[in-house]
Amino acid sequence: MADEFGELRDRLKRTYRRAADERGPSDDEIKDAFSTLTGAWSQVASAVTAALKDPDVRDQMKSAASSFAAAVGRTISELGTELTEGPLEEE
Chain mean position to CA 88: 29
Cβ contact 85:77 at 8 Å: no
Reported as a single tens digit per residue, the pLDDT across 32-56 is 888 999 999 999 999 989 988 999 9
d(CA 12, CA 10) in angstroms, rounded, equals: 5
Confidence check: pLDDT of 87 > 60:
no
DSSP helix/strand/coil, 25:
coil
Reported as a single tens digit per residue, the pLDDT across 7-29 is 888 888 888 777 766 676 777 88
Q: Tell me, what's the pLDDT at 60?
A: 93
pTM: 0.42
Q: What is the largest CA-CA distance in the chain?
A: 56
